[in-house]
Amino acid sequence: MSAESAPDPSGGAGGVIDVIGRVRVVPVLTVDDPDGAVELVRALVEAGLPAVEITLRTPTGLTAIRRASVEVPAAVVGAGSVTSAALATEAIDAGARFVVSPGLDDGVIDVASGAAIPVIPGIATATELLRAVNAGLDTVKLFPAELLGGPALITAYSAIWPEVRFMPTGGVTAQTAPAYLALAQVLAVGGSWMVNAAAVDAQDWTTVATDASAAAKLGRVAP
């Protein structure tokens, strides 16, 4: 998928979730160099992964979100590691199209919902999932997915909450992703396995694109 043919990220909250649900693989990026982040996002989009999550684990995360949102308009850029209402506000102001949190925080949910931005909070327990559902959410991040029980846990939760869609993240690899993607309840998987740090440091965008294309193919297999 080229940048020119990638889905338009401007279609509102539902449109963003639709994009994520079509590609089903969301690269999770932690970046130190905004210039490199823009080129990385461009390579991912051109390889067929238009929805990317840039974490706020580094001081340059917000700048990378702002620049990638403007300079790679075909990308659906989201913010990850959003741990407070204040960070959610900053991320949305920077141009984030969706917000992902490692946990379930009412302030983050309120800010994102108030801005009509999709929010995908992290949950680990049935209690947290119940809280998310009661807050009106139908999409959550299972985190850390592999440590919590992986696909088996999603299947168990889905017996009680069949309307909920999951984005498992944390320990997901090219080898384990297919088991998640085989589940109809899985909206997408999040991970960093397709981003070769050495290739990014060397600005070897051809290698990055090759690895991303392989990851994108995983998402094309229907559950």
Domain ranges, ordered by start, for the chain: 12-214
Fold classification of 12-214 (topology level): TIM Barrel (3.20.20)
Average the pLDDT over each of 13-27, 64-78, 178-192 and give the range with the smallest value: 13-27
* Residue 28 structure tokens: 């999770």
Report the 10 Å Cβ neighbour count for 98.
27
Residue 2 binned pLDDT confidence (cut-offs 50, 70, 90): very low
Going by the DSSP 8-state scheme, the letter that residue 7 receives in this structure is P
What is the spatial distance between Cα 143 and Cα 204, in angstroms, rounded to a whole number?
A: 30
Pairwise CA distance, residues 48 & 6, whole Å = 8
* Confidence at 1, pLDDT banded by 50, 70, 90: very low
Token pair 């490692």: residue? 102
| pLDDT (mean) for 51-58 | 98
**φ and ψ of 198, to 5 deg:** -65, -40
pLDDT at residue 12 above 60?
A: no
pLDDT in tens, 86-141: 999 999 999 999 999 999 999 999 999 999 999 999 999 999 999 999 999 999 99
Q: What is the pLDDT of residue 13?
A: 62
* pTM, entire model: 0.92
pLDDT, averaged across the chain = 93
* Residues forming the active site: 53, 141
- What is the arithmetic mean of pLDDT over 189-206? 95
